[in-house]
Amino acid sequence: MSITAQTVWNNCLKFIKDNIQPQAYKTWFEPITAVKLTDNALSIQVPSKFFYEWLEEHYVKLLKVSLTKELGEKAKLVYVIKMENTYGNKQPFTEKIPSSNRSAVKSQEVDIPLNNKNPELRNPFVIPGIRNVKIESQLNPNYSFENFLEGDSNRLARSAGLAVASKPGGTSFNPLLIFGGVGLGKTHLAHAIGVDIKDKYPEKTVLYISAEKFTQQYIDSVKKNNRNDFIHFYQIIDVLIIDDVQFLSGKTGTQDVFFHIFNHLHQNGKQVILTSDKAPVDMQDIEQRLLSRFKWGLSAELQTPDFETRVSILKNKLYRDGVEMPEEIIDYVAKNIKTNVRELEGAIISLIAQSSFNKKEITIDLARVIVEKFVKNTKREVSIDYIQKVVSDYFQMDVDTLQSKTRKRHIVQARQLAMFFAKKFTKASLASIGSQIGKRDHATVLHACKTVDNLTSTDKQFRKYVEDITKKLSV
């Protein structure tokens, strides 16, 4: 890479950074690399076609201003799209595509080889008139975009969803794969896209289905010997939304049939929307050819919402339910439930219920009790006391014996195991573990952890202890 391209781009970045949100900068500008500078044209490499489109749509002015400052009025910007090189596609494949002519920042004109080799493949199975058969969309109208609050954690997925909804099948986000942990809004967002499409294009056939139900239908169709009807049914859908595709793991028959349906829909410009609890890279037992299809479009992650977003989700929920609640309580709940929007809502719902059933006022104390219940039920924090109890029970001694100063081998081992598990399962420091387990110092704890590690790898009986206790602590 030439020094000058780098310097020019660095200067642009400085300017851009001062003019946009840090999160946006991180998402859209940090992944870019400057590759070349010839005359007035700076080439930058972006990770995907989607990226390029997003930059063009949202940041072209900013890019233009910054680049003009560096290279003068004749400045040009050239995008180089680097396709992600995964799934056995060993050859790095780059393509250049033209920046749109509407901007003064122009790029080279190069043809774009896209995936639409068969743009007008007609469905040979469509029975005349079948389009009039009404297919129930199975959408939940409460899961709308309006109710899906925006935050840094979901901005990309939400915007991509909106883009898909305004032009189903007509963007490069096909399929759109929404992935993320439990309770972060995948199902909600998937419905929202469908609801919005139905709203804008009432004539389009939209279908929402969980991968589980899809699998069940497929199995039934095989049993009843009408596999073809099953396939034809799915092939006439305009917008297919399949929720929780990780469920297809290991189900080769269903994957196979889905692969064919997917290809058919995709070739005909139909939109496919998928959700999954994992990124495609982390999906197990899903065929490569299917995974590589998932990568054709966009994979957008839903992350855990930050504090502000959690507060706005709660406020929106309360507003919709017509309930008022002191700020202080909302803050308390949002501060303490961090990793799952479903639990966040659950806590606020029980808070409302508790107060109205028992005619209690909603106080911080009540909030504390309820939040604790929620947090405890989902992720029971293992305490050092609890660990000592489990370990002493296992060796049939009492906690006092475990903590005593004795040097008897089996007691020393139990104590060392308690220290080892305290280190493993809590966030406590070595010093704090030592002081709680028989008032020892941090060096003793460190020594205990090393001893347990050593014994685990050399002593079969000891390894069994570790395994047994681990199981007891993990239930």
Q: What are phi and psi of 151, to 5 degrees?
A: -160, 175
Q: Is residue 171 close enough to count as binding Mg ion by CB under 5 A? A: no
436, two tokens:
């709680």
The stretch among 42-50, 178-186, 352-360, 373-381 that binds ligand ADP (CB under 6 A) is 178-186
Q: Is residue 187 close enough to count as binding Mg ion by CB under 5 A? A: yes
Nearest-CB residue to ligand ADP? Answer: 185
- Least separation in angstroms between residue 41's CB and ligand ADP is 41
The count of residues interacting with ligand ADP (CB under 6 A) is: 16
Q: Is residue 186 close enough to count as binding ligand ADP by CB under 6 A? A: yes
> Which of ligand ADP, Mg ion, none does residue 160 bind to, with CB < 5 to 8 Å depending on kind?
none
- Which residue number, 29 or 179, has a Cβ lying nearer to Mg ion? 179
- Which residue number, 35 or 337, has a Cβ lying nearer to ligand ADP? 337
Cα–Cα nearest to 78, from 62, 98, 95, 61: 98
Cα–Cα nearest to 239, from 202, 279, 278, 287: 202
- Least separation in angstroms between residue 158's CB and Mg ion is 16
Q: Is residue 183 close enough to count as binding ligand ADP by CB under 6 A? A: yes
Q: Is residue 8 close enough to count as binding ligand ADP by CB under 6 A? A: no
- Which residue number, 161 or 297, has a Cβ lying nearer to ligand ADP? 161
Instruction: Please give the Cα distance from 261 to 264 (Å, whole number).
Output: 5
> Which of Mg ion, ligand ADP, none does residue 185 bind to, with CB < 5 to 8 Å depending on kind?
ligand ADP
- Least separation in angstroms between residue 206's CB and ligand ADP is 17
Q: Is residue 184 close enough to count as binding ligand ADP by CB under 6 A? A: yes
Assign 224 to helix, strand or coil: coil
Q: Is 185 known as a binding-site position?
A: yes
- Which residue number, 169 or 183, has a Cβ lying nearer to ligand ADP? 183
Q: Is 451 known as a binding-site position?
A: no
Instruction: Please give the Cα distance from 141 to 416 (Å, whole number).
Output: 56
Taken as a whole, the chain contains a residue count of 475
117, two tokens:
């080799």
Instruction: Please give the Cα distance from 171 to 275 (Å, whole number).
Output: 18
Binds ligand ADP (CB under 6 A): choice among 66, 137, 154, 235? 154
Q: Is residue 210 close enough to count as binding ligand ADP by CB under 6 A? A: no
- Least separation in angstroms between residue 364's CB and ligand ADP is 24
39, two tokens:
């005359």
**Paired residues of 241 in beta bridges:** 208, 273
Residue pointed to by tokens 């199995």: 219
- Which residue number, 95 or 150, has a Cβ lying nearer to ligand ADP? 150
- Least separation in angstroms between residue 305's CB and ligand ADP is 6
Binds ligand ADP (CB under 6 A): choice among 43, 107, 187, 299? 187
The stretch among 121-129, 182-190, 266-274, 408-416 that binds Mg ion (CB under 5 A) is 182-190
> Which of Mg ion, ligand ADP, none does residue 256 bind to, with CB < 5 to 8 Å depending on kind?
none
Q: Please report, for residues 29, 32, 36, 216, the alpha-carbon distance to residue 10 in angstroms, rounded to integers and kept in the order given.
A: 11, 11, 13, 54
Q: Please report, for residues 128, 160, 191, 228, 247, the alpha-carbon distance to residue 140 in angstroms, rounded to integers and kept in the order given.
A: 30, 20, 6, 29, 21
Q: Is 360 known as a binding-site position?
A: no
Q: Is residue 342 close enough to count as binding ligand ADP by CB under 6 A? A: yes
CB burial of 358-379 (b: ≥16 within 10 Å; e: otherwise) equals eeeebeeebbeebbeebbeeee
Cα–Cα nearest to 456, from 413, 404, 400: 413
Assign 39 to helix, strand or coil: coil
Q: What angle do CA 233, 235, 240 make, to 5 degrees?
A: 95
Residue 381 is given by DSSP the state P
Strand pairing of 76-82 and 176-180? unpaired
Q: Is residue 96 close enough to count as binding ligand ADP by CB under 6 A? A: no
Instruction: Please give the Cα distance from 450 to 128 (Å, whole number).
Output: 74
The stretch among 178-186, 351-359, 361-369, 418-426 that binds Mg ion (CB under 5 A) is 178-186
Q: Is residue 174 close enough to count as binding Mg ion by CB under 5 A? A: no
Q: Is 470 known as a binding-site position?
A: no
> Which of Mg ion, ligand ADP, none does residue 342 bind to, with CB < 5 to 8 Å depending on kind?
ligand ADP
Instruction: Please give the Cα distance from 225 to 419 (Å, whole number).
Output: 60
Q: Is residue 147 close enough to count as binding ligand ADP by CB under 6 A? A: yes
Strand pairing of 176-180 and 94-96? unpaired
68, two tokens:
């003009």
Name the site residues for ligand ADP (rule: CB under 6 A).
147-149, 154, 180, 182-188, 313, 341-342, 345
Name the site residues for Mg ion (rule: CB under 5 A).
186-187
| Binding site listing | 183, 185-187
| Binding site listing for ATP | 183, 185-187
